[in-house]
Amino acid sequence: MDFKLPAIFKHATPFLLGMLAGALLILWIGFDFAGWTTSSTSERFAKKQNEVAVAAALGKICSVQFNSAANLPQRLAELQKTERWSRGEMLAKTGFATMPGDKEPANGVSEACANLLVPEKN
């Protein structure tokens, strides 16, 4: 049994392949270069932005708590001596990054607080 394409498809094949290639090219350009995203990507991005904003706001509260506690010069000098990547952990252990009513600091709060207390020099 020999299957033959109708005559219209013999002439339309290059056209259909061109349409398919064009559609794929448009999708590639849209998602890679034009900033198109899927809804799940947008939701992940929005959630990440929310976490960063909350950490920045709570980091300011942490810095106020740190600056208003006793022995500020001694604690600040100790924080400055600590390696940059360990400062957040140090603030979390001392409890300054933990907000009133919470049992532990929220994600990113201690790092945001450390960056406010000991700004990175450019």
Residue 107 CA: distances (Å) to CA of 41, 47, 51, 66: 21, 13, 8, 18
Residue spans of the chain under pLDDT 70:
1, 5, 8-9, 122
Q: What is the pLDDT of residues 88-112, one digit of tens each?
A: 999 999 999 999 899 999 999 999 9
What per-residue confidence (pLDDT) applies to 63? 95
Q: What pTM did the predictor assign?
A: 0.67
